[in-house]
Amino acid sequence: MSTTTAEPAPGTRAPRSAGGIRQSLSDSLVIAQRNLLRMMRIPEVIIFGLIQPIMFVVLFSYVFGGSINLPGAGVDAEAYRSFLMAGIFAQTVTFATAGAGAGIAEDMHKGLIDRFRSLPMARGAVLTGRTLADLVQTALTLVVLAVVALLVGWRAHEGILKALAGFGLLLLLGYAFTWIGALIGLSVRTPEAATSGGLVWLFPLTFISIAFVPAENMPSFLQNVAEWNPFSATVLACRELFGNLPANYPTPDAWPMENPVLASVLWSVVIIALFRTLAVRKYRSAT
C-alpha cells in the first residue's frame, strides 16, 4: 500500500511554517507597515497625541516653574525648566502604552487577530509589528516635543552624542511599556477598557517618581518607591546625559540613582523580556 503527498496547485506555494528569525522579522515588519499606514490615514490620532505633551511642557514650565524648590538651585524657574524636561519626555513615551493597548483591543474586537492567527506567520509577529509601529510614532512625538522644549528655553549641554543616547533610553523605555499595553489590550474586551487600563496605573507610576519633583520633597515612605521606580532611573539618566541637573544636586543612596544609565537599560530589558513573553502567550489563546 502506497501513500501520496498532495502537491500545491500550480502557481501557488505551500504555507510557510511559523518559525525562524528571518520569517519572524519579515512578518513583524509587514505588520508594522500595516499599522503605520493605518496611522497615516488617521492623522488626528497623531495630532491629538502631540497636544497633551505640548500642554504639559507649557503648563509645568510656566505655572510651576517658579514654585518648585530644587536642591542645589533653590526656586529658579530656568533651572526647574531644565530639570522638568526629562520627566516630560519620559512621561510622553510611557503614555504610548494606552495607544498600543487600545489598538490591539480594537483588532481583537473586530476579529482581526483571529484572522492573523489563521495565517502561516511567525508567532508574536502581530504584536511585535504593532509595538514597532508605536515606537515610530513615539519617536515622531519626541522630535516635536524636543522642538517645543527648545522654544521654551530647554537645552542639552553635554553634546549631541549624549543627547542622542538620552533619547535612545527614552525610546527603549517607551518600547518596553508598549509591551505592557499589548498585554492589557489582549486581556480586556473593548478598546475603551484598554485605554482606561493603560492609563490608570501610569499616573501613580509617573508622579511617584523624580519626574516633576525631587525625591527629597516627598514623604519618607514614598522616597524609596520613587528611587526604585524604573521611570525614575530613565529620567535621572536623561538629566545626566542632557546636562540638566543643578551643579550641587545631591545623589540619593539607592543603587538605581547612583547608576541611572545602567539601571534604565536593565529595567527596560527586563520589562520587554517579561511582558513580551506574557503577551505572546496570551495572544496564542486570546479570542
Q: Which residue has the cell 511554517?
A: 17
Query: Would the pLDDT of 102 be above 50?
Result: yes
pLDDT reported for residue 264: 96
Nearby residues of 65 by Cβ (< 8 Å), 6 or more positions away: 77, 78, 80, 81, 84
pLDDT reported for residue 11: 43
pLDDT reported for residue 65: 67
Q: In terms of C-beta distances under 8 Å and separation of at least 24 residues, what long-range contacts does 117-122 make, across chains too?
A: 117/283, 117/284, 120/15, 120/16, 120/17, 120/18, 121/16, 121/18, 121/23, 121/27, 122/18, 122/19, 122/20, 122/23, 122/24, 122/27, 122/28
pTM, two decimal places:
0.84
The rounded distance, in Å, linking the Cα atoms of 208 and 200 is 13
Q: Using one digit for the tens of pLDDT, what is the confidence trace for 105-135?
A: 887 777 777 777 777 777 778 888 889 988 9
pLDDT reported for residue 66: 64
Q: Kindly report the average pLDDT of the chain as a whole number.
A: 83
pLDDT reported for residue 10: 45
Tell me the pLDDT band of 5, cut-offs 50, 70 and 90: very low
Average pLDDT of 189-212? 86
pLDDT reported for residue 15: 44
Among 69-83, 143-157, 160-174, 255-269, the least confident range: 69-83
Query: Would the pLDDT of 177 be above 90?
Result: yes
Tell me the pLDDT band of 2, cut-offs 50, 70 and 90: very low
Task: Please state the domain extents for the chain.
Answer: 21-285
pLDDT reported for residue 19: 52
The rounded distance, in Å, linking the Cα atoms of 282 and 277 is 9
The rounded distance, in Å, linking the Cα atoms of 95 and 272 is 16
Whether residue 114 contacts residue 287, with contact meaning beta carbons closer than 8 Å, is answered with yes
Looking at the chain, the whole-number percentage of residues with pLDDT higher than 90 is 29
